[in-house]
Amino acid sequence: MQPHKAGFVNIIGLPNVGKSTLLNALTGERLAIISPKAQTTRHRILGILNNEDYQIVFSDTPGFINQPSYKLQSTMNSFVKEAFEDADVLLFVTDNKHKAEDQQHIIDLAKKSGKPVLIILNKIDLYGKKELDELTAYWAAQFEGAEVVPLSAASGINAKKVIRKIVALMPESPAYYSKDEMTDRNMRFFVAEIVREKIFHQYDAEIPYSCQVVVDTYKESDDIDRIKCLIFVERESQKGILIGEGGKALKRLGTEARLDIEKFTGKRAYLELLVKVKDNWRNDDDILKKFGYN
């Protein structure tokens, strides 16, 4: 029998390279929200992959922001720094758009940590063989001793291969979490994240970045969950945009979010959304703490 392996695998990289998509592809669950806009991910999220012989505890991180312009962004950066310290293996994700000099701080932190690194060259569906070969050689030269694994997180190509390589790098250890767990987050968290994802899809400009979603009540029963969510915005004008003419925009948001919540829980949901104004919440320490960014 093989010795049991377990470890913490942290996914690092610039915003928008596909870290959250990768987390979902590797765990086979839709744990992390994804959008074409940068900085969709605000928290660290654990996703757990269980097998008889191993347990991989993945964590997705917000992308590192070079020059934080408000407090929420500094807090997001501190989550990223933590990710280097508590990892057994680092997955450094990049795509064909970014060079080493765009992300030298991440590379330096990864090297300084002394942890084994797998370089995930993502979005290979977007470029050809020649570019892939060049990029593979380029990235192998940046990290001595680290292996480059080309992958398409969106289509799942090579995901199994990445898992095999991770297991090879992980230490022998008993499991950290019960083997029937797939995440450390509860349904309240996922509901808030699903609503936030739909906001990112439906609204433009600064709106998604100014919204905070809080689950106010969550009443579970066998066949239906009754959920009330508060959406905090920073200004009265943003509230108007969120609600839309005759409440149409908010209604659409509620429907889209509800459908995904139902997919996630496997039962019906009743979802109520309320919009509230909380001045300048992104720069308020107490509010950030209350929203769980500490």
- Name the site residues for ligand GDP (rule: CB under 6 A): 13, 15-21, 34-36, 40-41, 63, 122-123, 125-126, 152-154
Question: One symbol per residue from 22 to 61: x for binding Mg ion (CB under 5 A), - otherwise; what is it?
Answer: -------------------x--------------------
And the tokens for 184?
């450390």
Gap between the Cα atoms of 33 and 24, Å rounded: 9
> In the bound complex, what is the minimum distance in angstroms from residue 234's beta carbon to Mg ion?
22
191 binds, among Mg ion, ligand GDP, none (CB under 5 to 8 A by kind): none
> In the bound complex, what is the minimum distance in angstroms from residue 133's beta carbon to Mg ion?
28
Judged by CB under 5 A, the stretch of 16-24, 111-119, 205-213, 225-233 that binds Mg ion is 16-24
> In the bound complex, what is the minimum distance in angstroms from residue 37's beta carbon to ligand GDP?
8
Q: At what angle do helices 104-113 and 71-85 cross, to 10 degrees?
A: 30
> In the bound complex, what is the minimum distance in angstroms from residue 10's beta carbon to ligand GDP?
13
Per the CB < 8 A criterion, the answer to whether 4 and 28 are in contact is no
125 binds, among Mg ion, ligand GDP, none (CB under 5 to 8 A by kind): ligand GDP
Using the minimum distance from each CB to ligand GDP, give the nearer residue, 91 or 275: 91
Using the minimum distance from each CB to ligand GDP, give the nearer residue, 16 or 173: 16
Gap between the Cα atoms of 38 and 144, Å rounded: 29
Per the CB < 8 A criterion, the answer to whether 11 and 59 are in contact is yes
Judged by CB under 5 A, the stretch of 20-28, 111-119, 177-185, 277-285 that binds Mg ion is 20-28
36 binds, among Mg ion, ligand GDP, none (CB under 5 to 8 A by kind): ligand GDP
183 binds Mg ion (CB under 5 A): no
Gap between the Cα atoms of 171 and 211, Å rounded: 40
Torsional sign, CA 196, 197, 198, 200: positive
Beta pairing partners, 218? 227
**Nearest Cα to Cα of residue 293 among 149, 189, 153:** 189
And the tokens for 284?
């308020």
Number of residues that bind Mg ion (CB under 5 A): 3
| Backbone phi and psi for residue 123, each to the nearest 5 degrees, phi listed first | 65, 35
Give the pairing type, strands 212-220 and 224-233.
antiparallel
113 binds, among Mg ion, ligand GDP, none (CB under 5 to 8 A by kind): none
> In the bound complex, what is the minimum distance in angstroms from residue 120's beta carbon to ligand GDP?
10
Residue nearest to ligand GDP (CB): 18
Gap between the Cα atoms of 131 and 137, Å rounded: 10
20 binds Mg ion (CB under 5 A): yes
Rounded to the nearest 10°, the torsion over CA 252, 253, 259, 264 is 180
94 binds Mg ion (CB under 5 A): no
Using the minimum distance from each CB to Mg ion, give the nearer residue, 19 or 115: 19
Query: Which position has the token pair 């377990």?
Result: 6
Using the minimum distance from each CB to ligand GDP, give the nearer residue, 77 or 271: 77
